[in-house]
């Protein structure tokens, strides 16, 4: 998820929001992860907007992308320079209308925005004082944090939804890695989801997507300051993380968007410098994005979250190698959206999932939206996307109110 959306006019806002925390499990009663390792206690940072109705059937879970957080909309303080990352989509009168829906967004485990991750204190570390070859008790996990999966993230979200007293979500929506979580929700908990909106996403990473993530990880691990992940007391691998972000950021854009925004224009000069400074605007932009990212994100979290995305494989996890079989458990309605210039998760991948859904007789709407801005198009203003999401949610809300969702949602695990 990109961070070049600083100057958007997002329209009416939900107002002030508050980051909350939900904790479950303990060191004695941990959560068992898909890797077989254990984690506990587990904390999730989350935020909500709108109001849960009396029937508790108007909840919409928004899942964030790779480096996002729970701050989906609104502001923490009146003078905040910008609102949440999807404020163009979530709010009063917007496609995900907080006058109609109770919107929930949580930071994933493995992240660094309030949920349990590599920079969280490890309760199982060694003695609190005296000589020790390892970290002291309460020191950050670092790379001792267990590898987590998209499935693990969704299982934690389900615990949060239980905590909020919600039996069935009206919809789960998200783009990119958030879209992977949407797909996981729809097949892992079919009785808990009325509608799913996976945007600009895939059921599994291509070799090219894995390759970009690996180069980004190697940039972090090659930074001497990384120190095997134990850098919290000695100084962060800022250069490596900045380069990793630059690599990722390129995949979020498109050739057309970069040509339109930068072309070969020079940065604050009229002639080439004939040195290794940033001659071109695109070089300066990527350096700016990398340095900006370093100030807010944890390098170890970046390693863990990219690995979780690479491991995601819906057909292997839920279909024994068959994409059609993986959707056999699903009972929800789907709205699948792709974008013409998204070369990270191109449209052919969305069409493959739509085909598998239809082979299971599911109610599926699909749209490929013409957009020149690459993978990040789902984060940018787009009237067609707005209309699709607003109309789809209104239709689902009407059908669920009429009891159709209850009928379709009855499925034994």
| Chain Cα centroid distance, residue 20 | 18
Q: Is 219:244 a contact under the CB 8 Å cutoff?
A: yes
- Residue of 165, 222, 194 whose CA lies nearest to 48: 165
Q: Which of 2, 176, 257, 326 is catalytic?
A: 176
> Is 264 one of the annotated binding-site residues?
no
Determine how many CB atoms are found less than 10 A away from the CB of residue 151.
20
Torsion angle in degrees (nearest 10) through CA of 376, 380, 384, 389 = 80
CA atoms lying within 13 Å on the CB side of residue 93 = 4
Closest CA to 67 of 104, 23, 113: 113
CA–centroid distance for 136 within its chain: 32
By CB atoms closer than 10 A (0-12, 13-18, 19+), residue 149 is buried
Residue 359 CB-half CA count within 13 A: 13
Q: Active site residue: 298, 326, 342, 350, which one? A: 342
98 by DSSP, 3-state: which?
coil
To the query of whether residue 176 is one of the catalytic residues in this protein, the response is yes
The response to whether 376 counts as a known ligand-binding position is: yes
**Neighbouring residues of 316: CB distance < 8 A, sequence distance ≥ 6:** 204
3-state secondary structure (DSSP) of residue 295: coil
How open is the CA angle 300-231-66, to the nearest 5 degrees?
15
Establish whether 342 is a catalytic residue.
yes
Catalytic residues: 176, 342, 375
Binding site for substrate: which residues? 245, 376
Annotated binding site: 245, 376
């Amino acid at each position: 998820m990109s961070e070049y959306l600083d100057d958007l006019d997002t329209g009416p806002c939900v107002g002030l929001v508050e980051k909350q925390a939900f904790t479950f499990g303990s060191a004695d009663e941990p959560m068992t992860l898909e890797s077989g390792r254990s984690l506990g206690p587990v904390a999730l940072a989350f935020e909500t907007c709108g109001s849960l109705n009396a029937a508790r059937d108007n909840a919409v879970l928004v899942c964030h992308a790779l480096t996002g957080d729970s701050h989906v909309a609104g502001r923490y303080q009146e003078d905040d320079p910008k609102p949440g990352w999807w404020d163009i989509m979530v709010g009063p009168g917007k496609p995900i209308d907080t006058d109609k829906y109770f919107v929930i967004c949580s930071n994933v485990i493995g992240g660094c925005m309030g949920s349990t991750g590599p920079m969280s204190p490890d309760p199982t570390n060694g003695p609190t004082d005296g000589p020790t070859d390892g970290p002291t008790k309460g020191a950050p996990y670092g790379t001792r944090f267990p590898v987590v999966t998209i499935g693990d993230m969704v299982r934690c979200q389900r615990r949060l939804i239980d905590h909020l007293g919600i039996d069935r979500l009206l919809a789960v929506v998200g783009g990119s890695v958030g879209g992977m979580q949407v797909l996981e929700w729809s097949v892992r908990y079919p009785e808990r989801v009325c509608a799913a909106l996976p945007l600009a996403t895939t059921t599994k990473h291509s070799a090219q997507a894995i390759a970009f993530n690996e180069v980004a990880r190697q940039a972090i691990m090659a930074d001497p300051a990384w120190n095997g992940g134990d850098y919290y007391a000695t100084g962060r691998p800022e250069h490596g993380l900045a380069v990793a972000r630059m690599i990722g950021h390129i995949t979020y854009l498109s050739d057309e968007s970069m040509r339109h925004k930068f072309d070969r224009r020079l940065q604050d000069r009229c002639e080439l410098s004939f040195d290794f400074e940033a001659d071109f605007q695109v070089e300066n932009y990527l350096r700016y994005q990398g340095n900006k990212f370093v100030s807010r994100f944890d390098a170890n979290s970046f390693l863990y979250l990219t690995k979780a995305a690479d491991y995601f494989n819906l057909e292997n996890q839920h279909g024994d190698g068959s994409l059609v079989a993986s959707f056999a458990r699903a009972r929800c309605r789907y709205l699948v959206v792709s974008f013409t210039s998204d070369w990270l998760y191109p449209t052919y991948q969305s069409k493959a999932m739509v085909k598998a859904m239809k082979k299971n007789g599911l109610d599926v709407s699909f749209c490929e939206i013409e957009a020149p801005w690459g993978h990040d198009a789902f984060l940018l203003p787009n009237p067609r996307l707005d209309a699709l999401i607003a109309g789809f949610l209104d239709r689902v809300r009407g059908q669920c109110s009429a009891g159709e969702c209850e009928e379709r949602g009855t499925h034994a695990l």
